Amino acid sequence: MGTRTACLASTATAERWGWLALAVACTKPSSETHVSPPDTAPHETEPQETAVPPALPFSVSAGPTPHTLVVAVTSSDRAELRCDGAEAIPGVPERLEASSEGPNPTLQIHGLLAETDYECSLVAGDATETFPWRTGRLPAEVTAFTWAVTDGAATARPAYVLFNAAPVDDARAPQILVAVDRAGGVRWHTVVPGVDMGIAIEPTTDGRVWAGGGAHLLMPPTLLAADGSVVATIDCPLCNHDVEPVGEDVWAIDGFGAESACVVSFVGDEFAASRVCADEAPGVFPAPFPGVNSISIGQGDQAGLVVVGIATDPSVTAFSWPDATPLWRIGGAAPTLTGPTEDVFSYRVHDVNLAQGCGHEVCLLLYANRTEDVGSQIMMLGVDPSAGTWTVSAQWADPPWFAPVWGGAWPEEDGGWLVAIGQSADGATDPSVIVEVDPATGAVKWRLELEPMIGTYRARSADPCVFLSHAGLCSASGA
């Protein structure tokens, strides 16, 4: 059968909390002549118009946000869905795809831009259907925030950037978690009502997102699907500041405001918890209250290594998992390794992540808030436990800034640093920005600037070939 255009195209109308979807229904006038079988005397009938079932019956609807298109197909063949739009990222085709095996699949394309026209095609076997699709509006909670990409929209590495945004002067106001493309367009979002700023957002290796944290009004570790809906929520009312997915597991910090703060690993479908807590492992955490606000979990040849950033006694401590054996500590009141402590740990640290490429036994990318007289900095620390030393192997602060709380630094696969400079209500006047930095040169490869008085806590990048379904970006990345 040949290609044909669907008779009725679906249109999605976005309301604040709901979506209206219209199904596609198709019939096609036949241009063929129907001939009756011969009886006692063969004869021809007059040509007739007959209703022919659609070559590929399907229905179209919007997902829970305008970024998702859902197509249900009646077919015994493998189905493929593709939507093309006008180029939104300079030099990158706006092409999003999905495919499915097995009979009667339901296909979902994620990552569509809101209020945008797409031309979509559905293929199963030798049948092809085409239809137009216009996405709905973003909700008011998202459009209440504005930002602009000021550098690198056309030249930055293909990736999505995930971050949170919230008013700095109202902890109980709704905030958003978003993924944007390099032009700043929203590709994914969810709204989080009345939760404190300190929400971490981490992409998984299977196209989903873990979010959670908060410093005062807490969000338990929550797994979010590619369409923004909640997949699972872990019962951990005092989990705060950070979540860290590792394979099928997720790690978090439990016990905000308690003397027995814990690093906890939630394992498997039931999220069975294993903990290392301050009151049970005094050699791991400084006493009396370990203000843990970031964790990083070793993988590969570093499996079993847990690194923890501590705000109240500015330091980084490391221990082995699951036996909670103390390994080393840098900074703070009781360091076990020597290094330039006063230059790095003069005040809070807000994000620490294991990294690669520093030329030492352990590499740590650190967001050091420090003090106003010296300003905040991003630092790559090289740690050599066997020698009992650590050093600063690279750093960046251009232009200079100071943010007393919030902020994050993430090591990217190409060696770059993704930095969230989250300005807060207690003294900062500059806007919050998210930048991608080349540590070798100090050059800013990409920069997104939020409107004044909007804060952000952390930012992470997501591989377009894994998160959502932007085939144009995937091709641009060389995958």
| Edge-to-edge strands, sheet with 127-134 | 3-5, 127-134, 117-124, 79-89, 92-100
For residue 264, report the phi and psi dihedrals to the nearest 5 degrees: -130, 140
CA distance readout (Å), 300 to 112, 246, 305, 332, 466: 35, 11, 10, 28, 20
pLDDT at 26: 38
pLDDT at 156: 83
The model's pLDDT over 314-330, given as tens digits with 9 standing for 90+, comes to: 899 999 998 999 999 99
pLDDT at 477: 57
pLDDT at 49: 52
Q: Which two tokens stand for residue 378?
A: 């991003």
Cis? peptide before 288, omega within 30° of 0: yes
Parts of the chain with a pLDDT under 50: 1-48, 50, 52
What is the fold of 3-134? Immunoglobulin-like (2.60.40)
pLDDT at 12: 35
| Pick from 397, 403, 404: nearest CA to 435 | 397
**Residues 6 or more apart from 157 whose CB is under 8 A from it?**
412, 414, 416, 436, 445, 446, 477
Distance (Å, whole) CA 189 – CA 205: 18
The ranges of the chain annotated as CATH 2.120.10.80 are 140-476
Tokens 């404190």, residue located: 196
The ranges of the chain annotated as CATH 2.60.40 are 3-134
Distance (Å, whole) CA 207 – CA 134: 24
pLDDT at 42: 38
Q: What is the CATH number of domain 140-476?
A: 2.120.10.80
The predicted model scores a pTM of 0.86
The model's pLDDT over 72-89, given as tens digits with 9 standing for 90+, comes to: 999 888 999 999 999 998
